[in-house]
Chain A
Amino acid sequence: MLNADVEVDRRDFTVQVELAVADGERVALFGPSGAGKTTVLEAVAGLVGLRRGFVELGGRTLTATGAGPVAVPPWRRRVGLLRQDPGLFPHLSVQANLTYAKTAAPDAGELAAIAAQLGIDGLLTAMPARLSGGQRHRVALGRLLLAHCDALLLDEPFASLDAALRRTLTALVKDLVAQRSVPTLLVTHQLSDAQAFADRLAVMDRGRFLQAGAPDAVVLAPASRRVAELVGYLGFVPAGDGLVAGVHPDRVSAGADPARGLVVTGTVTAARPSGAGWEADLRAGDAAFTCYLPDRPPGAELSVTLLSPPYFGPDGTRVVSGLKVR
């Protein structure tokens, strides 16, 4: 179990978050660049100091401020960190990288098993410079697994890889986390990566958690207009009584279907192919938004249905049946 309550001063704001990640749980910290997500990981890893707070892992206090301060150095934390740059040691072979940690099991059996599981068993004598991007990440992952870390911290680890490889590695990490049953934190600014990986999603902005919950719940029911913007709502249309409805481009159906949501009629200002469908820009009164449609919009006027959209009050908080969501 990873428990943390950290306050870290940054130049522009203070990062202030509390989190609890159970063994085997995967939590994604999602937010825009510069939101302070990496700072949280670095605080857990002991790479930055806390102004206030604590970090506990598996019953051990790694950091504590106040009376009787504790600051376990990074080399004694048993926390594994995987960044976008896998950080392989370029002067060591793949095998030497894999077995680098002092805590790596000395028996060759585990090395062989993990190398086989990661698909790098034929690369043990190769130097990192010879590896592809995906192979490097696999080696870095294997190195963390062989180190027997008590927690895994993943800082946009696969962001530089293509989508297919990212999916493969994400699935692999999910399996491995389940096997090892370690608390895992993923930092990402790609919602799809967070959704593919995490049991729980925490949306972060300017050093604070804005909302946390199951990934689908956060996306379908954002607690505020800001969260909605961060999870992909690309427009807001007036819905009466001073409320606005969030428009998520994936949750728009062509045609008027009041039973399924809010019907909006507007003018198509632009339309372009997007994947197997169409992306259209609509203007309805003063509001403008983008939506994805299965077919090309038939004309200049178009009615669409926003499927169960979230509603927000003038102060930006979500409103459900006249009640503000806190």
Chain B
Amino acid sequence: MIWVALLGPVITLLTHLSAGQIASALTGPGNLDPLVTSLEAGGITLLVLAGVCTPLAWMLARGRLPLPRVWEAGLLCSLLLPPLVIGLLLVFMVGPYTPIGQFLGWLHQDATNTFLALVIAEVYEAAPYYVLGAQAAFAGVDTRLEQQAGLLGDRPFRVFRRITLPLAAPGLSMALATAWARAMGAFGAVVIIAYHPFGIPMQIYTTLQETGLATALPYALVLLVVALPLPLAAYVWSARAERRRRG
């Protein structure tokens, strides 16, 4: 019952759509461009998170940073701020008249209303979810196993590659899946700093404003269909890894 109740909006979405509506909404010229934009921005966001935030999460989990509570509080601040506010603050941070904005201009880049801006907005919306999830995944790896691997001759990076990463991988994949879902659905910060190019959430918003709910809903379905496989795959892979460990 609880599951059905939680699925209420999705069920409502499915019951309010017909095949004709979906076809007419998605077959127009350029109608799938927002989908491509969202996928590309989401993919790059995941790469950035995996590359930059994974070491941060590991350091947090292993207490390698001074004043760890301060770092964690910083992450929570990002999580607590409404995405809309994050978008506003990003304007002040990377807008064209800021030092960062000017530096980007020098590189012929712009962090407002560009693809880069979309990625930045998605990274800021999704990063706390990934870091906190990855931190928990690393914290779940017994440090004595890492010590044992070290005593068996592995240097720290090799220990990380052979022990820490494989053991944390199910948790990391779940954290990535959560971050992916957050990035694909990012709207609050995006609407402020990256109105263009349209990703799917922006497409839903503008379509709703211009032509109404009936034409906006098919995009919501597309968002679900496209964004769901990765988290599902993460769940399946994570469960398989656990089964494999249990022999």
Q: B-side binding surface: helix, strand, loop or mixed?
A: helix
Contact with A along B211-247 (1 / 0, CB 8 A): 0000000000000000000000000000001001111
Query: Chain A's nearest CB lies how many Å from the CB of B135?
Result: 20
Contact status A100-B149, CB under 8 Å = yes
What is the CA–CA distance of A199 and B90 in the complex, to the nearest angstrom? Answer: 69
Q: Give Cα A85 to B143, complex, Å.
A: 12
Which of A73, A85, A102 contacts B152, CB < 8 Å? A102
Q: In the complex the two chains form, is A127's CB within 8 Å of B153's CB?
A: no
Q: If A90-B167, A103-B153 touch, does A81 touch B246 (CB 8 Å cutoff)?
A: no
| B144 contacts the other chain (CB 8 A) | yes
- Tell me the residues in window 32-85 of chain B with beta carbons closer than 8 Å to chain A beta carbons: none
- Shortest beta-carbon distance from A8 to chain B in Å: 16
Total A residues in contact with B, Cβ cutoff 8 Å: 28
Q: Which residue of A lies closest to B245 (CB)?
A: A90
Contacts of A102 in B (CB 8 A): 152-154
B174 smallest CB distance to A (angstroms):
16
Interface of A is mostly: loop
For residues 74 through 114 of chain A, which have their beta carbon under 8 Å from a beta carbon of chain B?
Answer: 74-81, 83, 85, 87, 89-91, 100-103
- For the side of the interface on B, what is the size category? 20 to 34
Q: Tell me if B163 counts as interface (CB < 8 A to partner A).
A: yes
Cβ A75 vs Cβ B151 within 8 A: yes
- Bound CA–CA A127/B150 (angstroms): 21
Whole-angstrom distance between the alpha carbons of A147 and B241 in the complex? 27
Whether, in the assembled complex, A129 has its beta carbon less than 8 Å from a beta carbon of chain B, the answer is yes
Is B206 in the interface zone, CB < 8 Å from A?
no
Known: A47-B147, A101-B153, A127-B244. 18 other contacts (CB 8 A): A73-B155, A74-B147, A74-B151, A75-B150, A75-B151, A75-B153, A87-B148, A89-B145, A89-B148, A89-B163, A90-B167, A91-B167, A91-B244, A103-B152, A127-B247, A130-B246, A147-B152, A147-B153
B residues neighboring A (CB under 8 Å): 142, 144-145, 147-156, 163, 166-167, 241, 244-247
Chain A residues proximal to chain B, CB less than 8 Å: 45, 47, 73-81, 83, 85, 87, 89-91, 100-103, 126-130, 143, 147
